[in-house]
Amino acid sequence: MIIRALVDQGVEVVFGYPGGAVLPIYDAIFGQNNLRHILVRHEQGAVHAAEGYARSTGKVGVVLVTSGPGATNAVTGLTDALMDSIPIVCFTGQVATHLIGNDAFQEADTTGITRPCTKHNYLVKNPGDVARVVHEAFYVARSGRPGPVVIDMPKDVQLGKGRYVGPEKVVHRTYQPRVKGDAAAIERAVEMLASAKKPIFYTGGGIVNAGPGASQKLTEFAHMTGVPVTNTLMGLGAFPGSDPQFLGMLGMHGTYEANLAMYNCDLMVCLGARFDDRITGRLDAFSPKSKKIHVDVDPSSINKNVSVDLPIVGDVGAVLEDMIASWKRQKLDTDRQALKAWWKQIDEWRGQDCLHFDQGKEIIKPQYAIQRLYEMTKDRDAYITTEVGQHQMWAAQFYKFEAPNRWMTSGGLGTMGYGMPAAIGVQLAHPESLVVDIAGEASILMCIQELSTAVQYRLPIKIFILNNEYMGMVRQWQELLHGGRYSESYSAALPDFVKLAESFHAKGLRAAKPSELDGVIEEMLRTDGPVVADIVVDQAENCFPMIPSGAAHNEMILSIDKSNVVSDAGKALV
């Protein structure tokens, strides 16, 4: 019945790991051909793979794990999906209902543990509820602000018999998120935009979640109005990276022009982003001179960190559509004269060339490695995932995304180990495409076991490790904040990644000199199968520009020599 419900929901792939409490479901999987099961090596990998699958397709990712440790191992992935609003339905096995609460073998209070890290969860106690709960779970996972949903399924319920109901028969009683934005508010928003002198669109992952149509609408609206656009880490690809109106990413490691434009603007239109602390910097100095409009599908995101002048609750794609319609109907235009001056100012900031680096002959600069990867893959059908740390920020700065759903990264939770399993999920959804995991040598070891999964299913993912032998971002913070005392951030006893790849029956490559880099990338791209490319990069390189914690957008530092000391209050922030 579970399988039938999944098939009726259009599910094609399930990521999972079997165990005692889910054997009945695995038995049902064995006897059918509609669902493909991908056996991962660790439950965390299953959830990340489902996230990669979901984020690159817009569909719901499905996970199946056993009770107890299966469920607890999935918690990191579930939290990651919650923070980044990724739709996931995760089935967890549970001990039989009469054993619940008895500290039975592999029992855990899964609904209790996952309550704060899911959008919603269910413990199914009655076989008759199974089909309804599954359909409800899919509805909840994908509606409104998407998120993970757990269905905890005791073993006797899995074996029980109940009546099947189809998805069309299941309507949720309470959960009906608002899609259309308030018409009067939208009208006011476009009027504010028309009279603004220094407007900016600050756009986030909500645009990506609202579907490719929302990105098109954003691009159309930006071009109609001539307003500069900046994206959050999660929103990269929502607006074409090579568009002249794009200022690059904003926030802690965002570009100089994006952050200064945020600081100095007089109207901020926030579309599907949530004023995260990595974006705002010091709150009391965040964009002090601007009026703010915030469009979000989740009312709790509005006025959470920053109070806004005009909130609009609704799906950002639908709201953008209405904004464009209203703009056209009222025959509005932006103040072109003022906008010209605004762009002149922005171009001056751009002139700082904040992402500049000097590539010498001896050591590969990590930025250069990403730049080369971008140049050599930009004309291909490419998807990029990352782990977490310096390499992630460099990837965000130097890889330009032209379309949404091409960039998979752990933004909110910042989960090291996300990238490779996510790449597996992406590759399964797009078997013919190029999928690259841009990784660091520390992060990649956190879910390295999934290389085995990639090999088993012949998934030709490319793992591009920027190896600086340090947990680079930790080292950078220690350098800036803790007097260069590199406590435990050196990756001692690293494996030989080439041999490690070979031991997994994958291909291993290494580049240690700038002159070797292109050859290695070429060979990586040519190889039909999983590849680990170990790129030995400059150990001392830091990720700039940077807004130090506790600082404001206009206090960002561009390099270490100009850097000022971080305040004590700033040190307390992470």
Return residues touching other proteins (CB under 8 A).
111-112, 115-116, 119-121, 123, 140, 172-175, 298-300, 302-304, 307-309
Residue pair 230/254 in contact by the 8 Å Cβ criterion: yes
Backbone φ/ψ region at 520: left (φ over 0), alpha (ψ -120 to 50), beta: alpha
Shortest separation between residue 552's beta carbon and other proteins, angstroms: 18
* C-beta closer to other proteins: residue 111 or 433: 111
φ/ψ of residue 190, rounded to 5:
-70, -30
CA distance 466 to 464: 7
Q: Name the CA dihedral angle for 299, 305, 308, 313, rounded to a multiple of 10 degrees.
A: -10
Contact 306, 275 (CB under 8 A): yes
Cis (ω within 30 of 0) for the bond into 514?
no
Give the nearer residue to other proteins in terms of CB position, either 298 or 335: 298
Strand locations in 66-172, DSSP E? 88-94, 120-123, 148-154
Min dist. Cβ of residue 174 to other proteins (A)? 5
Nearer to other proteins, 140 or 233 (CB): 140
Q: Which one, 105 or 175, has the nearer CB to other proteins?
A: 175
Annotated active-site residue 497? The verdict is: no
State which residue, 100 or 434, has the beta carbon closest to other proteins: 100
Q: Is the distance from CB of 390 to CB of 416 less than 8 angstroms?
A: no
For other proteins, give the closer residue by CB, 302 or 442: 302
Task: Please list the residues that pair with 91 across neighbouring strands.
Answer: 64, 151
Whether residue 43 lies in the annotated active site? yes
Smallest gap from residue 105 Cβ to other proteins (A) = 23
Are the C-beta atoms of 430 and 458 separated by less than 8 Å? Answer: no
Active-site residue flag, 155: yes
User: What is the rounded CA–CA span in Å between residue 399 and residue 373?
Assistant: 8
Maximum alpha-carbon separation in the chain? 73
Catalytic residue among 59, 155, 217, 365: 155
The catalytically annotated residue of 105, 220, 330, 340 is 105
Rounded Cα–Cα distance for residues 26 and 37 (Å):
9
Report residue 156: phi and psi, to 5°: -70, -30
Residue 105 annotated in active site: yes
Closest separation in Å from C-beta 149 to other proteins: 9
Closer of 162 and 299 to other proteins (Cβ) = 299
Q: Shortest approach of other proteins to residue 453 CB, angstroms? A: 32
Tokens found for residue 300: 């709790």
SS3 351: coil
> What token pair was written down for 11?
């599910």
SS3 207: helix
- Of the candidates 1, 43, 292, 420, the residue annotated as catalytic is 43
Which run of H or E residues covers position 466? strand 462-467
Q: Is residue 106 annotated as part of the catalytic site, yes or no? A: yes
- Which of the residues 408, 473, 524, 546 is marked catalytic? 473
Q: Please report which helix (H) or strand (E) contains residue 201, including its range.
A: strand 199-203
Residue whose structure tokens are 């440790």: 69
Query: Of the two residues 4 and 304, which places its CB atom closer to other proteins in the complex?
Result: 304
Query: Which strands form 291-296's sheet, in the order they lie side by side?
Result: 246-249, 229-231, 199-203, 267-271, 291-296, 310-313
The DSSP call for residue 364 is B
Give catalytic residue positions: 43, 105-106, 155, 473
